[in-house]
Amino acid sequence: MAESGSTQVPGLTNARGLSLDRMPIRTREGGVTLSGWRLSAGSDQGEGAIVLVEGGAGEIRYRGEGVFLGWTAEQLRGAYEALRPRSDESAFETQQLG
């Protein structure tokens, strides 16, 4: 993923998403490997990452690293949504047959 432009994130100046990577995640309480996304970000305050963990039954948890350490789940969710990359192309594509 290419670095995105600066985005408004409360508490950070010149925040920008750096990379978004899919990763396996293990939790202490579970014996199953879960899927997650790690969004690396940079700002004038430093670098950090937000990890989105997709649990069972549609449960979603956020974990902050670096400049995001100690942020509430609501703050992490807002920052993740603001910094994650947006696709400019439509996900729906018709195929021409014949």
| Element holding 14 (H helix, E strand) | strand 12-25
**So what's the pLDDT on residue 3?**
47
Distance between CA atoms of 61 and 7, rounded to whole angstroms? 22
Instruction: Name the token pair of 32.
Output: 């199953």
- Compare 69 and 96 and report the one with higher pLDDT: 69
The predicted-structure confidence for 26-80, as pLDDT tens digits, reads as follows: 877 777 888 899 999 999 999 999 999 987 777 899 999 999 999 999 999 999 9
- Compare 58 and 22 and report the one with higher pLDDT: 22
**So what's the pLDDT on residue 95?**
62
**Residue 86 CA from chain centroid, whole number:** 12
**So what's the pLDDT on residue 5?**
59
pTM score over 0.85: no
How far is the CA of 82 from the CAs of 17, 24, 47, 51, in angstroms?
A: 9, 23, 16, 14
How far is the CA of 93 from the CAs of 8, 89, 96, in angstroms?
A: 31, 9, 10
- Compare 28 and 93 and report the one with higher pLDDT: 28
Distance between CA atoms of 8 and 73, rounded to whole angstroms? 18
